Chains A and B, each alone.
Chain A
Amino acid sequence: MERAFDVVVVGAGPAGMAAAVSAAEAGRSVAVVDDNPAAGGQIWRRGETLPGAARAWLGRFERAAITRLPGSRVFDGTVDRVCVDGGGEGFELRYQALVLATGARERFLPFPGWTLPGVFGAGGLDAMARGGLPVAGKRVVVAGTGPLLLAVAAHLARRGAKIVAICEQAPLGSVARFAVRMATEPAKVMQGIEYRWAARRAKMHFGCWPVAAHGAGALDSVTLRQSRRRWRVGCDFLACGFHLVPNVELTALLGCRLENGFVAADAVQQTSVAGVFCAGEPCGIGGVEAALLEGQIAGLAAAGRIDEARALAPRRRKLDGFVRALQEAYALRPELRAMADEGTILCRCEDVRYGTLRGRESWREAKLQTRCGMGSCQGRVCGAAAEFLFGWRVDAVRPPIFPAPVSSLTSCNLAENEREAR
Chain B
Amino acid sequence: MSTAYDVAILGAGIVGAACALECASRGLRTVVTEGRGVGSGATAAGMGHIVVMDDSEAQLALTRYSQTLWHALAARLPDEVEFDRCGTLWVAADEEEMQEVRRKQAVYVAAGVAAEILGARGLEEAEPHLRRPMAGALLVPGDAVLYPPCTAAWLLQEARRMGAEFVAESAVGAVAGGVLLSGGSELQAAHIVIACGADSTDLLPALPIRKRKGHLVITDRYPGMVRHQLVELGYLKSAHSLTADSVAFNVQPRRTGQLLIGSSRQFGDESREVDHGILARMLQRAEEYLPEIGGCSAIRVWTGFRAATPDKLPLIGPWPDDESLMLATGHEGLGITTSLGTGRLVADLLTGTVPEIAADAYRPGRFLSGAGTEPEVARGGMGA
Interface residues of B in 9-64 (CB under 8 A from A): 37-40, 44
Cα separation A272 to B283 with both chains bound (whole Å): 33
A407–B275 CB distance below 8 A: no
Cα separation A414 to B275 with both chains bound (whole Å): 8
Known: A399-B274, A419-B277. A406 touches B37 (CB 8 A): no
Cα separation A76 to B300 with both chains bound (whole Å): 12
Kindly state whether residue A191 has any CB partner on chain B within 8 Å.
Answer: no
**Contact among A369, A406, A419 with B295 in the assembled complex (CB-CB below 8 Å):** A406
Known: A368-B149, A375-B299, A376-B299. A406 touches B293 (CB 8 A): yes
Q: How far is the CB of A214 from chain B (nearest CB, A)?
A: 30
A403–B297 CB distance below 8 A: yes
**Contact among A364, A365, A404 with B297 in the assembled complex (CB-CB below 8 Å):** A404
**Contact among A399, A403, A415 with B220 in the assembled complex (CB-CB below 8 Å):** A403
A418–B275 CB distance below 8 A: yes
B300–A405 CB distance below 8 A: no
Residue of A nearest to B273 (CB): A398
Encoded as 1 (CB less than 8 Å from any B CB) or 0, chain A from 396 to 415 comes to: 00111001111101100111
Cα separation A413 to B215 with both chains bound (whole Å): 15
Chain A residues lying within 8 Å of B358, measured Cβ to Cβ, are none
Q: How far is the CB of A334 from chain B (nearest CB, A)?
A: 27
A406–B277 CB distance below 8 A: no
Cα separation A361 to B39 with both chains bound (whole Å): 13
Kindly state whether residue B279 has any CB partner on chain A within 8 Å.
Answer: yes
Of listed A362, A406, A407, residue having the most chain B CB within 10 A: A406
Interface residues of B in 264-283 (CB under 8 A from A): 274-277, 279-280, 283
Residue of A nearest to B274 (CB): A399
Residue of B nearest to A408 (CB): B298
B149–A378 CB distance below 8 A: no
Cα separation A406 to B280 with both chains bound (whole Å): 9
Chain B residues lying within 8 Å of A369, measured Cβ to Cβ, are 38-39, 80, 149-150, 153
**Contact among B38, B150, B276 with A413 in the assembled complex (CB-CB below 8 Å):** B276
Cα separation A400 to B215 with both chains bound (whole Å): 13
**Contact among A362, A375, A409 with B298 in the assembled complex (CB-CB below 8 Å):** A409
How many residues does chain B have at the interface if contact means C-beta atoms less than 8 Å apart?
34
Known: A365-B40, A376-B297, A407-B294. A415 touches B277 (CB 8 A): yes
Known: A368-B44, A410-B287. A400 touches B298 (CB 8 A): yes
Kindly state whether residue B139 has any CB partner on chain A within 8 Å.
Answer: no
Q: How far is the CB of A350 from chain B (nearest CB, A)?
A: 8
**Contact among B44, B80, B284, B295 with A405 in the assembled complex (CB-CB below 8 Å):** B295
Q: How far is the CB of B218 from chain A (nearest CB, A)?
A: 8
Kindly state whether residue B196 has any CB partner on chain A within 8 Å.
Answer: no
Residue of B nearest to A75 (CB): B298
Residue of A nearest to B293 (CB): A406
Cα separation A369 to B300 with both chains bound (whole Å): 16
Kindly state whether residue A374 has any CB partner on chain B within 8 Å.
Answer: yes
Known: A409-B280, A418-B276. A361 touches B37 (CB 8 A): yes
B283–A410 CB distance below 8 A: yes
**Contact among A365, A403, A407, A418 with B277 in the assembled complex (CB-CB below 8 Å):** A418
Interface residues of B in 63-121 (CB under 8 A from A): 80
Known: A378-B299, A415-B280. A410 touches B40 (CB 8 A): no
B298–A406 CB distance below 8 A: yes
Q: How far is the CB of B64 from chain A (nearest CB, A)?
A: 29
Cα separation A369 to B168 with both chains bound (whole Å): 16
Interface residues of B in 283-310 (CB under 8 A from A): 283-284, 286-287, 293-302
Known: A369-B153, A418-B277. A398 touches B302 (CB 8 A): yes
A414–B283 CB distance below 8 A: no
Kindly state whether residue B261 has any CB partner on chain A within 8 Å.
Answer: yes
Cα separation A361 to B80 with both chains bound (whole Å): 19
Kindly state whether residue B217 has any CB partner on chain A within 8 Å.
Answer: yes
Cα separation A417 to B279 with both chains bound (whole Å): 14
A406–B274 CB distance below 8 A: no
Q: How far is the CB of A416 from chain B (nearest CB, A)?
A: 8
B37–A410 CB distance below 8 A: no
Cα separation A253 to B288 with both chains bound (whole Å): 30
Encoded as 1 (CB less than 8 Å from any B CB) or 0, chain A from 355 to 377 comes to: 00000011011001100001110
Residue of B nearest to A396 (CB): B272
- Give me 21 A-to-B residue pairs in the complex whose CB atoms sit less than 8 angstroms apart, sorted by A's number: A365-B40, A368-B40, A369-B150, A378-B299, A398-B274, A398-B300, A403-B299, A404-B298, A405-B295, A406-B217, A406-B287, A406-B295, A406-B297, A409-B279, A409-B280, A409-B298, A410-B294, A415-B275, A415-B279, A418-B275, A419-B277
Q: Which B positions have Cβ atoms within 8 angstroms of A?
A: 37-40, 44, 80, 149-150, 153, 168, 217, 219-220, 261, 274-277, 279-280, 283-284, 286-287, 293-302
Q: Which A positions have Cβ atoms within 8 angstroms of B?
A: 76, 361-362, 364-365, 368-369, 374-376, 378, 398-400, 403-407, 409-410, 413-415, 417-419
Sample of 19 further A-B pairs with CB below 8 A, known A400-B298, A413-B280: A364-B37, A368-B39, A375-B299, A398-B274, A399-B274, A403-B297, A404-B298, A405-B294, A405-B298, A406-B261, A407-B287, A409-B279, A413-B276, A413-B279, A415-B275, A415-B276, A415-B279, A415-B280, A418-B277
Closest 3 CB pairs of A and B: A415-B277, A407-B294, A368-B149
